[in-house]
Amino acid sequence: MITIKELREAQTGFSRRNTANQRMTGKDLVWDKDEIGVVKYMLNDPKFKKHAGQAGYESGEDIYFDDDALVFGDKTVAKVKAKTTIDDLIKLVLKRKKLPKHPDWTPAFEKEMKRKYK
């Protein structure tokens, strides 16, 4: 019988212990770390979280890397070069005045985001 832990490790390709040992700092290169971990690290930055939250990307579910690009929903937000650090990537996203709206954007959703991220 296979345990849930073994099933998760088989699906993701790495164990929880390995990911816990991968501490991230802003000076780490983006491509040296796990992409999901990089997005989580970026969402822990208060300025980035507010900027992404105003466009509806507060949970990070629709933020991902596609080849060499950081994508919000279905729009490319930033190109990531080989020597780009996580802090540099956060600065690139913050330089954009407007992020693409979340795919589930509605007027009611907009009011909630404005109230939450004023």
> Could you give the residue ranges of the DSSP H alpha helices within the chain?
4-12, 16-20, 35-44, 46-54, 86-95, 107-116
Whole-model pTM: value is 0.74
How many other C-beta atoms are found inside a 10 Å radius of the C-beta of residue 22? 12
Domain-wise residue ranges, the chain: 23-101
pLDDT tens digit sequence for 5-30? 777 677 665 555 555 456 788 899 99
pLDDT tens digit sequence for 28-54? 999 888 888 899 999 999 999 989 988
pLDDT at 109 over 60: yes
Q: Write down the pLDDT at residue 90.
A: 94
pLDDT tens digit sequence for 56-105? 888 888 899 988 899 998 899 999 998 999 999 999 999 988 888 888 77
